[in-house]
Structure 1
Amino acid sequence: MPQNSLIAELKSYEPELVQIRRDIHRHPEVGFEETRTAALVADRLRRWGLDVTEGIAGTGVVATLKGRLPGQRAIGLRADLDALHIQEVPGRDHGSTVPGKMHACGHDGHTAMLLGAARYLVEHPADFGGTVAFIFQPAEEGLGGGRVMVEEGLFDRFPVDAVYGMHNMPGIPVGEFRTRTGAFLAASDTWTVIFRGTGGHGGAGAHLATDATLPLAHFILAVQTIVSRNVKASETAVISIGSIAGGDAGSPNIIPSQVTVSGTARSYEPKVRDLMETRLTALAHAQAAAFGCSAEVSYSRRYPPLITHAEQTAVSVAAATALVGADKVDPDCLPSTGSEDFSFMLEARPGSFVMIGNGTAEHGTIHHVHTPGYDFNDAILTLGAAYWVQLVHTELGLA
């Protein structure tokens, strides 16, 4: 763990931050249902003396704090609140108490880190000028809570000059940060194709059926040619199939009249996004027509790519470097085809996004996000809180 006076001072908060993080972990709430989590956050913020607003995007919470130094600038710091529909592996003392739901992406830790920073800054208001908005966002996992907050006037009600986000990442060592300027995370789209035929008896009447499974089978293969043969090799795109449904396991001798396939598409460039939607639609209809069936295609553009801004990324790099040293900060890491709805906030205001290391196999924390074995690493709670505080100092006060 890196050594720094700010980190050392925040160490006194660690027992409380661990308690908060594990309490949230035990009581996971999925998107737009984070009522208990939001109430816990609002209670702590009020207890520490911040001005708190609840109910933005349903369960979102925003708190503001003014520093005592001269200054009119304002920045936003964002954490996410929601959990996932995943059954956690059993055995943890702080394991989920809600069947089928768990904090499998570390939003419990993100919330605790930002709370730690808020408490510290309340206790040290003479260290900065201007205003800090602490943004606790609901429904990051697929439901677009960031978009809803922006649409409900987040930055009209709480004007900021810049907004910042942070996410933990297993596989990055504890004490390290990674970021980049420009395209950092991918656009995330969801698509569904329904193939329809007549169906029929799979034994005695197969020759009389229009079999919807045939265009499905050929489409599954054909859709992979979009990236390999239509997207320029120097550009990045991913198309994956996540669900296939049709027929009934209790009647394997029946050819289904309808089958459904759905998946995800990831890209960075608008032209690549357009291309994938166009080609996927064309291939679905072509395969359906080839086998006498029809196809219904739905393509939903969910999250835009997360594009960071140069000025704010430089601020993030400076803040992280002040904490852990330049050798522990990668300012130009490779982009990821993961997605994040913080992208909606970065479309509305300039800002940056960083990855904080959650640990490697040697720390026993290599379980990746969105898996049943994942857990946030409590050892980075004070480092994450210190990053937020250092960012405020770099932007608004003590550089």
Structure 2
Amino acid sequence: MAMSDKNYPFIAELTALRQDLHAHPELAFAETRTADIVARELERYGLEVHRGLAKTGVVGVLKAGNSPRMIGLRADMDALPLVENNSFPHRSKYPGKMHACGHDGHTAILLGAARHLAEQPDFDGTVVFIFQPAEEGEGGAAVMIEEGLFEQFPVEAVFGLHNWPGIPVGQMVVMPGPVMAGTCAFEIEVRGHGCHAAMPHQGVDAIVTAAQLVQALQTVVSRKLHPCEAAVVSVTQIHAGEAWNIIPESVVLRGTLRSFKAEVQASVEAAIETLCQGIAAAHGAQISVRFDHRYPPTVNSSAEARLCQEVAAEVFGAAHLLSDELPSMGAEDFAYMLREKPGCYVWLGNGPGSGGCTLHNPHYDFNDALLPLGIRYWSALVRRFLAH
């Protein structure tokens, strides 16, 4: 099992820092206070600090020995636009902003690992600590890459970690292959012919057409995909009409598609296009669809996943390594980094999700008991990777 707090004498200080970050959440590309704290701490530990990638990104570099080998570790820093409903002293001081996904904890863990490795640099090579802004929907990882992250810091592989409510503290999920879904937003416009609600025969009812389309979209996954493939099609918005006695001219549907494979994504999109054309023809309406591709699937490379499984078994014990869990239909922009470099994204148990302590919930809080566990995992991974 993991080391106790006494192995990291700065845990109390790091816990206070984590709770301070929780109390001062900042949204995408506006993590200025958080970035200042991260840079200050890294400099205090003696690391080489680089700033400016993706506006608020911070990169710390720690070298030991003579090996040219280089490993990247990444934490996300941004919060969510959510009103916090907790009452503890470190609740958000900024109305409408909240660390409801644990990025405050991820940042603190990576800072703790940087401090520990700086104090005990018993490895041979370079560790690049990547503190990334804007994970929650704005693709900060992609921006850092576009602005030269891996040209400036040519790591061999890159690794990520996320806390996971519902998994017991002291357990870790490490799986090869897809671990998080790719996401794509869609917008469908149904255009009919508006008319008086008492005289529907004089128009083409866009609402009835849209209603049939919503129902038909639920057959895409169940009837168009192989039963062993996974995807989600969810309509999340319907916008139409302004009066109770008018059949509106148009209806707008919006929603999300989730899948783990590019070919599945393409099949789902093609099926939606076909349904739109057929239902439009059946009702005499016009239907157009637009897809907005966002995060790609998060796919762990096999060799790096095996390495992380070995490290997790060493750190937590083999009985606490989970390697056969179902992947999540949630999305993660660490996927962009894994498209550029081999690597592995793991889930660290945050404990039960009771009382609303689930991701993106207004009652969520990061479990500070994870701090020493995460530090030991990162440190063991660095030593094992650079020893290969």
**TM-score category (smaller protein):** over 0.9
Deviations 1:78-102 (A, max 9, x none): 0001111222214232112222221
Match in the other structure for 1:119: 115
Could you tell me which amino acid in structure 2 is paired with residue 237 of structure 1? A
Give how far 1:299 is off. 0.7
Cα–Cα, structure 1 residues 247 and 100, in superposed 2: closer, same or farther, change >3 Å? farther
Question: Helix, strand or coil: the match of 1:172?
Answer: coil
Match in the other structure for 2:293: 301
Between the aligned partners of 2:234 and 2:240, the Cα distance in structure 1 is 18
Match in the other structure for 1:395: 385
Could you tell me which amino acid in structure 1 is paired with residue 364 of structure 2? Y
Could you tell me which amino acid in structure 2 is paired with residue 9 of structure 1? N
Could you tell me which amino acid in structure 2 is paired with residue 60 of structure 1? G
| Residues 2, 373 of structure 2: 8 Å contact kept | no
Between the aligned partners of 2:355 and 2:73, the Cα distance in structure 1 is 26
Match in the other structure for 2:129: 134
Could you tell me which amino acid in structure 1 is paired with residue 385 of structure 2? E
Match in the other structure for 1:86: 82
Between the aligned partners of 2:169 and 2:24, the Cα distance in structure 1 is 26
Between the aligned partners of 2:2 and 2:289, the Cα distance in structure 1 is 54
Question: Helix, strand or coil: the match of 1:56?
Answer: coil
Between the aligned partners of 1:367 and 1:284, the Cα distance in structure 2 is 40
Between the aligned partners of 1:86 and 1:269, the Cα distance in structure 2 is 31
| Residues 52, 61 of structure 1: 8 Å contact kept | yes
The 4+ residue runs of structure 1 with deviation greater than 4 A are none
Between the aligned partners of 1:254 and 1:21, the Cα distance in structure 2 is 54
Question: Helix, strand or coil: the match of 2:331?
Answer: coil
Give how far 1:365 is off. 6.5
Match in the other structure for 2:252: 260
Between the aligned partners of 1:106 and 1:324, the Cα distance in structure 2 is 21
Match in the other structure for 1:282: 274
**Does the alignment pair 1:23 with 2:30?**
no
Question: Helix, strand or coil: the match of 1:57?
Answer: coil
Cα–Cα, structure 1 residues 21 and 4, in superposed 2: closer, same or farther, change >3 Å? closer
Match in the other structure for 1:357: 349
Question: Helix, strand or coil: the match of 2:67?
Answer: strand
Give how far 1:211 is off. 2.2
Between the aligned partners of 1:253 and 1:27, the Cα distance in structure 2 is 49
**Does the alignment pair 1:336 with 2:328?**
yes
Between the aligned partners of 2:288 and 2:174, the Cα distance in structure 1 is 40
Between the aligned partners of 1:244 and 1:103, the Cα distance in structure 2 is 29
Give how far 1:106 is off. 0.8
Match in the other structure for 2:97: 101
Give how far 1:345 is off. 0.6
Could you tell me which amino acid in structure 1 is paired with residue 53 of structure 2? I
Give how far 1:75 is off. 0.3
Match in the other structure for 1:230: 224
Match in the other structure for 1:167: 162
Question: Helix, strand or coil: the match of 1:191?
Answer: strand
Between the aligned partners of 1:207 and 1:187, the Cα distance in structure 2 is 43
Match in the other structure for 1:59: 56
Could you list the runs of 5+ residues in structure 1 that have no partner in the other structure? none
Between the aligned partners of 2:58 and 2:31, the Cα distance in structure 1 is 10
Give how far 1:336 is off. 2.0
Between the aligned partners of 1:47 and 1:152, the Cα distance in structure 2 is 26
Could you list the runs of 5+ residues in structure 2 that have no partner in the other structure? none
Match in the other structure for 2:45: 48
TM-score (norm 1): 0.93
Between the aligned partners of 1:317 and 1:38, the Cα distance in structure 2 is 31
**Does the alignment pair 1:148 with 2:140?**
no
Between the aligned partners of 2:23 and 2:282, the Cα distance in structure 1 is 52
| Residues 2, 376 of structure 2: 8 Å contact kept | no
Could you tell me which amino acid in structure 2 is paired with residue 81 of structure 1? M
TM-score (norm 2): 0.95
Aligned-pair Cα RMSD in Å: 1.8
Between the aligned partners of 2:195 and 2:13, the Cα distance in structure 1 is 63
